[in-house]
Chain A
């Protein structure tokens, strides 16, 4: 993926750029909003990572301007401001996701992967299939090897999220945001508990384990 990082803080910029380069992405970085605006407008990028507070042109303005100019490249906004109102501002300006500093690289990486262009029609598919596991989005049923699996509504949503992002890590925060619509970090293990329930329903009695825990990062569903 070609990624443009627009971030004025040298340490964060270097950290993000190095991490992404190590992960095999091609990374361009710039230090202020004006420069970033220019490059985002002319370059062919698959993803923009934009800091919210920057000299010259701030992140919100940058996103608004490129969206106005018709650039639809996915944008992940980084910010030191974690308030709910700030998040809403960022998303309204046209950012696709919003990450509050300090963040772990795993979190950033998972979100980037989720933002990267999905195979066409993936979102519109009515049946998600991995191995012998079939999730039918129309009649909201799940089968594994033909056997029906009963899931609670939240468990279904969680599995759906994992399967939409098959082979990619889904972090705990992403699950909290997308499944429960929680904009805060609960101090308890609700994600872990839910995942372990789904896992017990899906993987129990099967040699092929589909849902994997990525220690310190999140969960991933993939064919063995």
Chain B
């Protein structure tokens, strides 16, 4: 019972019910205004009709008096007055004697006059308000004829009443419809806010149901909320995964470091020196991971665009290729370039780092003697900077994943690298509004950064 009471209160407080109630009030107001208007207008029309009737009657009696004399008129008045629903008459001779008619008032004023009959004896039922026409006839007698205004009134009252009833009923119907809509909407809104409450309480898997195929505004809102929740869940999962990955990635070198120091503490000086050097190397590795993380955060923060300037990609690729070529050759591989002139708006340092990361990726994962080819292409598809190797490639399913921070395709994390190299490439590409495209060339992997035509500045 109490629940129902609460529910009713919630329904009544809901937006849709309030709108419906407002609508009902406005509806009633409109009907009242219409009723008053109709009342005023019909009253005028009714009075006009009565007046015309009175004038006609007056004219015809006047004519009778002048044609056939006063007596005939008296008779005529008497017979007319006895007819049901007739007008009220009073004929007074010049001496003041009443000759005919039952109008209870003496009117000495000529012309139009209203008589309020309420405080007089009723001569006829329903004879309340009279409009009175008084005229002095040709023989000096005075004739008053009264027309009942109230007679037309009853019709008008009936009309008005009907109007008000209609208004009242429409208002009731609209309130009921309002309640119904409000209840329906409320149920859906409650489902939505229930979902949000669950999310606020920490359940990120909560989603609100969407009715298909209906696509009203509430469904759109629900879809939006669900999409937002998906994104939040993804971000939270990423943050969780990254923190776990960071912990894992740092735990191994730190525990090795601890072992080194432990052994060094009891080792003879010469051996201790070696162990300390090894410990320093491990710390450098940890610091490199942190540096990469900070760099990634810096690039992702988007502030980097402030330093954008035209970058000659060919020159940049040549510079980076020169740096790595000897290394690749030492490993028994080869590094070749195929470069066209192309200029993009960007940050040369970050682009160099992205390219270096791509080359290092190819060196680390492109097989024992990697053949790496770098290319810059400028065609109708935009500007492309690509790195290809002839290694084992990456499984199609993992293409998306390798760009995420700490993505290592081998769970043991035994291959070199911080696991952030390609994430940095992806972040640099995003900052430059370029797209990272991964294709499996079987054998080998082809990674490219592509600037769509519009964002690239082209030169000869």
Q: Which A residues form the contact surface with B (CB < 8 A)?
A: 82-85, 88, 102, 104, 152-154, 180-190, 193-194, 197, 215-216
Which residues of chain B from 302 to 335 have a CB within 8 Å of any chain A CB? 303-304, 306-307, 319-320, 322-324, 326-327, 330
Asked whether B298 is an interface residue with its Cβ less than 8 Å from the other chain, the reply is yes
Chain A neighbourhood of B353, CB < 8 A:
182-184
Alpha-carbon distance A152/B322, docked complex (angstroms): 9
The answer to whether B288 touches A197 (Cβ under 8 A) is no
Pair A188/B352 contact, Cβ less than 8 Å: no
Closest 6 CB pairs of A and B: A193-B326, A183-B349, A83-B298, A184-B353, A193-B327, A180-B323
Query: Would you call B304 and A190 a contact (CB within 8 A)?
Result: no
Which positions 392-432 of chain B face chain A at CB distance < 8 Å? 416-418, 421
Task: Tell me whether B294 and A187 are in contact (CB under 8 A).
Answer: no
Residues of A within 8 A of B356 (CB): 182, 184, 186
Instruction: Convert B285-303 into 0s and 1s, putting 1 for each residue whose CB lies closer than 8 angstroms to a CB of A.
Output: 0011001001100100001
* Interface: B40 (CB within 8 A): no
Contacts of A152 in B (CB 8 A): 322
Contact B307 A188 (CB under 8 A): no
The answer to whether the Cβ of B219 comes within 8 Å of any Cβ in the partner chain is no
Residues in B whose Cβ lies below 8 Å from that of A188: 324, 327, 360, 363
13 of the cross-chain contacts (CB-CB < 8 Å) are A88-B307, A102-B287, A104-B280, A153-B322, A180-B322, A181-B319, A182-B349, A184-B356, A185-B291, A187-B418, A187-B421, A188-B363, A193-B330
Could you tell me the distance between the alpha carbons of A153 and B356 in the complex, rounded to whole angstroms? 19
Instruction: Tell me, yes or no, whether B347 is within 8 Å of chain A by CB.
Output: yes
Decide yes or no whether B162 CB sits under 8 A from chain A: no
B277 sits at the interface (CB 8 A): yes
Q: Does B145 contact A (CB under 8 A)?
A: no
Known: A187-B360, A188-B363. 7 other contacts (CB 8 A): A83-B294, A83-B298, A85-B304, A104-B280, A180-B320, A189-B327, A190-B327
CB-defined contacts of B294 to chain A, threshold 8 Å: 82-83
B260-298 contacts to A, CB under 8 A, are 277, 280, 287-288, 291, 294-295, 298
Asked if B350 is an interface residue, CB under 8 A from chain A, the answer is yes
Chain A residues contacting B363 (CB-CB under 8 Å) are 188
Q: CB-CB < 8 A to A181: which residues of B? A: 319, 348-349, 352
Chain B residues in 8 Å Cβ range of A82: 291, 294-295
Please give, as numbers and ranges, the residues of chain B lying within 8 Å of A185 by CB-CB distance. Answer: 288, 291
Q: Which residue of A lies closest to B349 (CB)?
A: A183
Q: How far is the CA of A186 from the CA of B287 in the complex (A)?
A: 13
Which B321-371 residues have a C-beta within 8 angstroms of A?
322-324, 326-327, 330, 347-350, 352-353, 356, 360, 363
The distance in angstroms between the C-alpha atoms of A215 and B273, with both chains bound, is: 12
Asked if B277 and A216 make an inter-chain contact with CB atoms under 8 angstroms apart, the answer reads: yes
List the B side residues contacting A154 at CB < 8 Å: 322-323
Does A216 contact B280, Cβ atoms closer than 8 Å?
yes
The residue on A at minimum CB distance from B285 is A187
B326:A190 contact, CB within 8 angstroms: yes
A183: nearest chain-B partner, CB-CB? B349
Interface contact B319-A184, CB-CB below 8 Å? no
Question: How distant is B413 from chain A, measured CB to nearest CB, in Å?
Answer: 15
> B298: which A residues are within 8 A, CB to CB?
83-85
B contact residues around A184 at 8 Å (CB): 295, 349, 352-353, 356
- Taking a contact as CB atoms closer than 8 A, the residue among B323, B327, B360 that contacts A182 in the complex is B323
In Å, the complex CA distance between A152 and B323 comes to 11
CA distance A194 to B329 in the complex (A): 11
- With both beta carbons as reference points, the residue of chain A lying nearest to B322 in the complex is identified as A154
Q: How far is the CB of A210 from chain B (nearest CB, A)?
A: 20
Alpha-carbon distance between A82 and B287 when the two chains are bound, in angstroms: 12
- Provide the bound-state CA to CA distance between A188 and B358, in Å: 12
Report if A190-B287 is in contact (Cβ < 8 Å); known contacts: A84-B298, A84-B350, A88-B307. no
Q: For B348, list chain A residues within 8 Å (CB).
A: 181
Q: Give chain B nearest CB distance to A67 CB in angstroms.
A: 22
The CA of A154 and the CA of B327, in the complex, are separated in Å by 14
- Residues of chain A with a CB closer than 8 A to B330's CB: 193
- Cβ contacts under 8 Å, B307 to chain A: 84-85, 88
Q: Are B349 and A187 closer than 8 Å at their CB atoms?
A: no
CA distance A130 to B170 in the complex (A): 107
Residues on A with beta carbons closer than 8 Å to the beta carbon of B347: 84
A190 to chain B, nearest CB (A): 5
Is the Cβ of A190 less than 8 Å from the Cβ of B323? yes
- Nearest residue (CB) in B for A87 is B349
Q: Is the CB of A186 within 8 A of B288?
A: no
- Nearest residue, chain B, Cβ from A215: B277
- In angstroms, Cα B295 to Cα A20, docked, is 30
In the docked arrangement, what's the CA distance between A85 and B349, Å? 11
Shortest Cβ gap from A204 to chain B (Å): 16
Residue of A with least CB distance to B326: A193
Candidates A85, A187, A194, A216; contact of B416 at CB < 8 Å: A187
Which residues of A are found within 8 Å of B319, using beta-carbon distances? Answer: 180-181
- In the assembled complex, how far is the CB of residue B16 from the closest CB belonging to chain A, in whole angstroms? 52
Complex alpha-carbon distance, A197 and B349, angstroms: 26
Question: What CA separation (Å) do A198 and B228 show in the bound complex?
Answer: 57
By a CB distance below 8 angstroms, the chain A residues around B322 are 152-154, 180
Q: In the complex, which residues of chain B have a beta carbon less than 8 angstroms from the beta carbon of A183? A: 349, 352-353
In the complex, which residues of chain A have a beta carbon less than 8 angstroms from the beta carbon of B418?
A: 187
Contact A186 B277 (CB under 8 A): no
Q: Which residues of A contact B417 (CB under 8 A)?
A: 187
- Report whether A182 and B306 are in contact in the complex, using a CB–CB cutoff of 8 Å: no
Task: List residues of chain A with CB within 8 A of the CB of B323.
Answer: 154, 180, 182, 186, 190, 194
Q: Which residues of A contact B324 (CB under 8 A)?
A: 188, 190
